[in-house]
Amino acid sequence: MADGHKPKNKGSGAAKTAKTAKTAKDPESAVTGKAGQGRPAPRLTVRKTYKLYLGGAFPRSESGRCSPVTSSDGAHLANVSLASRKDARDAVAAARKAFGGWSARTAYNRGQILYRIAEVLEGRREQFAAALTDALGLSRADAAATVGAAVDRWVYYAGWTDKFTQVLGGANPVAGPFHNQSTPEPVGVVAVFAPQGAPLLGLTSVLAPVIATGNTAVVVSSERAPLPSIDLAEVLATSDLPGGVVNVLTGRSAEIGPHLAAHADVDALDLTGAGEAAVELEEAAATTLTRVLRPGPGSDGGEEAWRGTDPGTSRMRPFLETKTVWHPVGV
């Protein structure tokens, strides 16, 4: 917003702002300096630039591209960055860098941080409900229930962080003088293709189990409704979650997907939102022995498809590697 007239009173920032606003509305009155007295200047719209979430920061796409996002009834909502393959590469590098520290945290501390995410999300319920109404055309009640369910899901997985080890691991009976025990360990960097029709609860339901167990994630957000994923990234960024543990890419999954699937430094894929491309991505993943979680029933449903009951360990187990230790015991 360029205004051709420098404010006369340079010392006052407030004066400058007021003048700028006035100029924007009515250049003539600003020139004469007479009109507009007593009328409160209308606020300019503060438009939000949605960016990627990479390594704890919010950079624009390396490619400089962006694309418009519309609401369910076709109105323009905002522009989002269109991530390129290089952004995907950077995201994997950031996730790999964060993996050591995140997986080495105590399960208790990971639980605390996941619970903190729930707390911060709870404080922003209104914002997320409005975003869901815009993006999916949900009713207010539906949107509020979905946000509530998403908060609950974070709390749910916060509780799992220090319990999945007991459930999935344990002492194994062996026929010999050995103590034998198995313990599940995180696989590493997981590329998550978020559900297309469920940008908040669906995203939470696939993302939370991945990071709860100590993995780091590169999320390819819903192509149809990407805005809630970046809003969620802002919640993650302010919840003591170390940078790089979750990286969010908005853009075309058909463009980024193949590069992530074939990337040798990606340890697992969650193909929930990959749709038609899932088979192709699974084939590409096979070349580097990458673990794959195939899209299950209801993967392409809306938020209500994710509101079901207790997901259990079903979404944590695929991204864990069991380590078994044999230890000789004295007789």
- Contacts with another protein by CB under 8 A lie at 89, 92, 259, 262-266, 284, 287-288
- Least separation in angstroms between residue 83's CB and another protein is 15
Task: Residue 300: name the closest of 218, 199, 198, 200 by CA.
Answer: 198
Residue 69 vs 218, nearer CB to another protein: 218
Contact 290, 319 (CB under 8 A): no
As measured in angstroms, the least distance from the Cβ of 2 to another protein is 29
Within 10 angstroms of residue 307's Cβ, the number of other Cβ atoms is 20
Closest distance to another protein from the beta carbon of 92 (Å): 7
97 vs 105 by CB, closer to another protein: 97
DSSP code, position 12: -
Which is closer to another protein, CB of 85 or CB of 317? Answer: 85
Q: What angle do CA 162, 150, 314 make, to 5 degrees?
A: 50
* Nearest residue (CB) to another protein, 103 versus 205: 103
Sheet order of strands, 178-186 included: 170-172, 178-186, 320-328
- Residue whose CB is less far from another protein, 60 or 85: 85
CB 230, CB 250: distance < 8 Å: yes
Q: Which is nearer to another protein, 227 or 256 (CB)?
A: 256
Tokens representing 233 are 């990234």
Paired strand residues for 325: 181
Residues with Cβ within 8 Å of residue 116, at least 6 apart in sequence: 239, 240, 241
* φ, ψ of residue 161 in degrees (nearest 5): -55, -40
